[in-house]
Structure 1
């Protein structure tokens, strides 16, 4: 493909609460086995993009560990590959990234050394499948300076926290508002962009000179009347993980057969780092209904409409419903958990009761697992 990829994976979402205290949002577990960033990386690989730069910053330990080997996404190659960029102290700079444009700006040498004419920029906290070749063909056919992937959201979805756009009959963007107080459109930006590499370098250099640091506000919004910026609408599944509610809903979507088939059974595939674990074990008397149970789990009791992530233990007479149990959680006997997200590596003591009432409840327990 005639493009390189950049995945912006360094941001911190305060709306994720306790879930982002341990890890970057792009490292959040998805669908029992995957991480959020796997979807962007798999799309890059499936689109035959050979060179990808991943820009990390906030709480990057778990994310960097996940990305420690690029072979899982077929980026272990002689030509190109996957490159991880973190804030680095140099003779000229010792700052953290101050925004998405600044994150690209501090790594401009990566763009200058590449030879592909185009750049695909995407965030690492979205769940979707996409062929970037079709996006690039559209970009070229429109003779666009920048193409923004967008999606029409249902009427009942609050779009105030997204970037909202309006397009004319030729799909050229007339209006672009980043997180408006009152949204005027239900068409939102998906955080995926195509731009010519040399033009991106020029715009980033100009933004740096003017001390402007945000790619959306200081490039897309600022130049929408001067550059040919087009929208590329998608109809397929797309979800952004920006809040606890979004994270919960995205995972719960995988309990729907049509969503599971779309991601797991339809080509192209989604790839992730493989960990060798035994299959899940279901003990006598277990009742599991409409749930995803991951490798390495031991299940007792009842699990309904829930996702149990890797290496978790569900004790005797437990009742788990409408909940997400993250990796390596120990749940003691006679525990009731409903409408909750249980943080990874936690221990829920026996006879506990946890239930989210008006909204999803995040449960964080760091009790000692074994007490003498």
Structure 2
């Protein structure tokens, strides 16, 4: 591959509410067995990108633990590898990452020491499969300075949390609005960019000189009339999990047969860190319908249209409907849960009842089961 990869995974997101209190958004569990960042890393590996940097910052402990070995994504090579970069205090800098452009600037030495001519930049909070080689070929064919992967969203979609682009007949981006309150179009940026390495270094250094820190606002939007910035349109499944509702809906999408087949049964595969857990156990009285149940779970009650992550215990006479139960949750007997996301490592006391009546409800039980 003629490119190196950068995965931006350091930002905080208040739209995730309590879910981002103890983990980075890129570390959010997805589809029973994965983390959000697995999809970007798998795409890098499947596109034969051998050198990938992950820029982490906010609540990065669980994310760093997940990335403690590069072998899961086949980056453990003599040539290349997986690099985890967190903010580092130096003689010249004592700041945390102040934005996406600043996070790249603080690790500019890694870019300068690389030899590949191109850079693929991706965010760690999206669920998708993509061959970055096709995007790179498009970038070269168009003689573009920057290529932005875009997607046409269905009419009526709320695009206020995305970057919205407008293109001309050649698919050159002529306008770019970041998170507009009211947008005319429905073509959004997927947060995936291709740029020549030397040009990225030049633009990032100029941003730093002018105290500008954001890649979208201070590079894409600022240079849209000066640089040849093109849109590469994808029609495949793509979903951002950067809000509670979108996170819930993305996991619910995996209950659809076509989505499961696309991610689980269609080449290339999605890789993740593997834990040595026994298969799920269904005791007498268990009734499971249209649900994803992960390894290590023990089911005694009823589960419908739900996603259960690893090592979940469901007690007797429990009913779980249209819900997401994160890792290592213990659910006591006679509990009813509907339209909820239950935070990981919670203990739900027996005879509890949680229902998301006006949207998705996040359940966080305060308990002392785990001592810090």
What TM-score does the superposition give when structure 1 sets the normalisation length?
0.99
Shift of 1:156: 2.3
Shift of 1:285: 1.5
What CA distance in whole angstroms lies between the structure 2 residues aligned with 1:76 and 1:235?
A: 32
What CA distance in whole angstroms lies between the structure 1 residues aligned with 2:366 and 2:115?
A: 49
SS in 2 for 1:255: coil
What CA distance in whole angstroms lies between the structure 2 residues aligned with 1:140 and 1:368?
A: 56
Partner of 2:64: 64
Preserved CA contact (<8 Å) 1:348 1:367: no
Partner of 2:287: 287
Partner of 1:139: 139
Which ranges of 4 or more aligned residues in structure 1 deviate by more than 6 Å?
none
Partner of 1:266: 266
Preserved CA contact (<8 Å) 1:345 1:366: no
What CA distance in whole angstroms lies between the structure 2 residues aligned with 1:121 and 1:183?
A: 25
Partner of 2:75: 75
Taking only aligned residues, the RMSD between alpha carbons, in angstroms, comes to 0.8
What CA distance in whole angstroms lies between the structure 1 residues aligned with 2:162 and 2:28?
A: 20
What CA distance in whole angstroms lies between the structure 2 residues aligned with 1:180 and 1:324?
A: 30
SS in 1 for 2:55: strand
Residue 179 in 1 paired to residue 166 in 2?
no
Preserved CA contact (<8 Å) 1:347 1:368: no
Residue 118 in 1 paired to residue 100 in 2?
no
Partner of 1:345: 345
What CA distance in whole angstroms lies between the structure 2 residues aligned with 1:353 and 1:276?
A: 32
Partner of 1:155: 155
SS in 1 for 2:62: helix
Partner of 1:334: 334
Structure 1: tracts of 5 or more residues without a match: none
Partner of 2:128: 128
Aligned length: 370
What CA distance in whole angstroms lies between the structure 2 residues aligned with 1:121 and 1:111?
A: 12
SS in 2 for 1:102: helix
Partner of 1:108: 108
What CA distance in whole angstroms lies between the structure 2 residues aligned with 1:23 and 1:342?
A: 15
Partner of 1:224: 224
SS in 2 for 1:202: helix
Structure 2: tracts of 5 or more residues without a match: none
Partner of 2:241: 241
Shift of 1:367: 2.2
What TM-score does the superposition give when structure 2 sets the normalisation length?
0.99
